[in-house]
Amino acid sequence: MEPTLAVIGLDFRTSPVAVRERFWISPARCSEVLRQLVRSEGIDEVIVLATCNRTEFLIWARDVPTAANSVLRFLTQEYQLKLCEWSHFYRLMDDVALTHIFRVISGLDSMVLGEPEVTGRVKEAWVRAQEAETTGRFLDAVMQKALAVSKRVLTETAIGFSAVSVPFVSVELSRQVLGELAGREVLLIGAGKMSERAAHYLAKAGANRLKVMNRTASRGEQLATQLGATSVPFEHKMQHVKKADIVVSATSCPQVILTRQEAEEIARERKHRPMVVIDFAVPRDIDPAARQVEGIHLFDMDDLESVIKRNAMGRQAAAEAADKIVRAEVQGFRRKLLAERVVPSIVALRQRLDELCRQELELLRKEFGPFTEDQDQALAALTSHITQRIAGSLARELKELPERAEHDVLTTVVGRLFHLEQPVGAGKN
């Protein structure tokens, strides 16, 4: 089997948040998961991208079906994947996988068209893989190019202009329920980027009575200082939730932090006055059953998606221009990637030719030698020149072939003809 770029994963298009949260991989676990996967059968290099909207395994695989089975086994053992849930996962290969990666990092495959935050998340995933030593020549080249494509899309199109962000949607949803937001009290649970951006938009809309609650008090106090807000202890959660008109929750906690029973208690004390609860977290922070409680208007990532789709209308022209750039970049980069794939074959051929020439030169010395030093050097130079000509000719042929199938055929023929032991990329990089 020839090595191949592949993406295996699920996202907001193929699965609801209830499914995505089950397969979300926390940053704390990523290094362990990366090392486990890179030791799995069929996988040479791997990057794990896990956000609220997607969990993806970016793989350089010498055998995609085997690599996919390794991912399937991992998800089954570690996340109790059921066979019926495998349908939520996509498996992309070659140019389709490359296009997907370029579109993701350029914000074209996000819930929010042109979302700027996704570039940072992909960079973080790449850095984690580099630190875990699970990425090498091939995926590094793909990620470097993807970042360059993202920069070109941002500078040459209007895709990022006035993009409707997920945090901005918190303003629209809050206004739908509460009307004007001036003087409303906001409680942020979690002190990450999502909370910070939501606070920024809500404050601009007039909801400037802000509180920040975080399990790590120092981080909560730091964000509160930045926002001009008040830091409150997580241990007093119920007390502050009851007073808030808008609650924005975006933690990395693996289980719910607000149950339906707590929501019922909050609603009773508020006499069922409306409050907006926005759950940005995956896995979700708020028990989905809380939306059944009178007065609690709960919105999670699935709800945010529908609002974002409405607001994204009219930006299609920019998206089409960006996609045109991506398609052109894929066509150019695939030739470089194909050229990279054939390097091991060219090296193996060069070594085989050197070996054959040395054998023939030894036979020549035995039959017609001994030669003078000058004659011996001339014969060695001749055999080296022949090796270079043959290997160089093959390299040019392989690099100029536009289709992978043609690469594969020529590489296979050369391997059989010269009895090369290793095909392209047969070992780990």
| CA distance linking residue 224 with residue 207, whole number of Å | 15
Q: What is the mean pLDDT of residues 316-325?
A: 84
Task: Return the percentage of the chain with pLDDT > 70, whole number.
Answer: 88
Active site residue 52: yes
CATH class name, domain 166-311 = alpha beta
- Asked if residues 226 and 209 have their Cβ atoms less than 8 Å apart, the reply is no
Average model confidence (pLDDT) across the chain: 86
Q: What is the mean pLDDT of residues 251-267?
A: 93
Q: Which has more confidence, 405 or 383?
A: 383
pLDDT in the model for residue 332: 79
pLDDT in the model for residue 114: 77
Q: Is the pLDDT of residue 94 over 70?
A: yes
Q: Which has more confidence, 300 or 332?
A: 300
pLDDT in tens, 147-194: 999 999 888 887 766 556 778 788 888 998 999 999 999 999 999 888
Q: What is the mean pLDDT of residues 43-60?
A: 94
Task: Return the percentage of the chain with pLDDT > 90, whole number.
Answer: 52
Q: Is the pLDDT of residue 293 over 90?
A: yes
For 45, 200, 261, 279, 311, the CA distances from 206, given in Å and listed in that order, are 48, 10, 31, 21, 21
Q: Is the pLDDT of residue 82 over 60?
A: yes
pLDDT in the model for residue 429: 42
Do domains 4-162 and 166-311 share one topology? The answer is no
Q: Is the pLDDT of residue 421 over 80?
A: no
pLDDT in the model for residue 428: 43
Determine which one of 52, 84, 253, 357 is catalytic.
52
| CA distance linking residue 5 with residue 3, whole number of Å | 7
In the structure, what pLDDT confidence band is assigned to residue 312 with cuts at 50, 70 and 90? low
pLDDT in the model for residue 166: 77
- Asked if residues 272 and 177 have their Cβ atoms less than 8 Å apart, the reply is no
Using CB atoms within 10 A of its CB, is residue 116 exposed (0-12), middle (13-18) or buried (19+)?
Answer: middle
pLDDT in the model for residue 277: 95
- List the single range of 68-72, 83-87, 323-327, 396-400 with lowest mean pLDDT: 396-400
In the structure, what pLDDT confidence band is assigned to residue 426 with cuts at 50, 70 and 90? very low
Domain positions in the chain = 4-162, 166-311, 335-417
pLDDT in the model for residue 74: 95
What architecture (CATH level 2) is domain 4-162?
2-Layer Sandwich (3.30)
